[in-house]
Amino acid sequence: MWIPKTISAVYDKLTATVSSYDGSGSEACTPYGIAYIPKKGEKTLSVQVGNTNYILGVCKTPPLELSEGEIGLYSSGGASIILKNDGRVLINGREFPESEGM
């Protein structure tokens, strides 16, 4: 998980909330290189630290068929990238075989 363990040492109490995203200026906490803004009305998990609300994630089942250990990235518009366990990469459903040099 990308949430630092030291956060509990800085703040005694954190309150996690699952609620419908209202489009407010909350900050999304994500792994480096990934960014998103939830759609209004999506159920999100967030914590409040001081006066700032941080979104930790969106609570929903992705529209991708994934097996254990596979990774999928997708947008609400339907674009997707899936990393399969057998080394294949699917981009918008188009298959790219495993590279020879890996």
Give the model confidence (pLDDT) of 64-91 as tens digits.
889 999 999 998 888 999 999 999 999 9
Structure tokens at 62: 């992705």
Domain membership of residue 2 (yes or no) is no
Range of the domain at 100: 61-102
Shared domain for 35 and 78, answered yes or no, is no
45 and 82 in a single domain? The answer is no
SS3 call for 7: helix
* Beta strand 43-49 pairing with 52-58: antiparallel
Regarding predicted confidence, which is higher, 58 or 100?
A: 58
CA angle 48-71-54, nearest 5°? 10
**Around 63, how many Cα atoms within 13 Å sit in the side-chain half-sphere?**
9
Q: What is the pLDDT of residue 100?
A: 64
Q: What is the pTM of this model?
A: 0.66
For the stretch 11-42, pLDDT in tens is: 556 678 888 888 887 888 888 888 888 888 88
Does residue 1 sit within a domain? Answer: no
67 and 96 share a domain? yes
